[in-house]
Amino acid sequence: MPKKRKSGGRSGGKRGRASAKTCASCGGTVATDKAKKYTVFSSAVDYRLAKELRSEGAHIPRQQKIVYYCVSCAIHKGRTNIRAKKERHD
């Protein structure tokens, strides 16, 4: 059967089994080398209040969180775009 991608949509080369991560959107299990990793910044302060405080020169700490999405959720959320074969190989 022909392969759509040489890597099978995975990264990391010849490894065999990869450890699993949980998708932050659907809660499904996705292999680490196949999951899409994103860094999300969140603030405990409401964004309207934060904007006001920032204009007054206050420093608002924000928390960094790493989230993993499965391929279908990353596409659904617009984090990853579907690209044509020609575009993928460039």
Nearest residue to 72 (alpha-carbon basis) of 20, 22, 39, 35? 35
The footprint of Zn ion (CB under 5 A) covers 23, 25-26, 70, 73
Q: 8 or 51, CB closer to Zn ion? A: 8
| Minimum separation from the CB atom of position 84 to Zn ion (A) | 24
Nearest residue to 24 (alpha-carbon basis) of 35, 9, 34? 35
Cβ atoms of residues 38 and 67 within 8 Å: yes
Q: 1 or 82, CB closer to Zn ion? A: 82
Contacts of 90 (CB under 8 A, 6+ apart): none
| Minimum separation from the CB atom of position 74 to Zn ion (A) | 8
| Minimum separation from the CB atom of position 2 to Zn ion (A) | 26
Q: 45 or 72, CB closer to Zn ion? A: 72
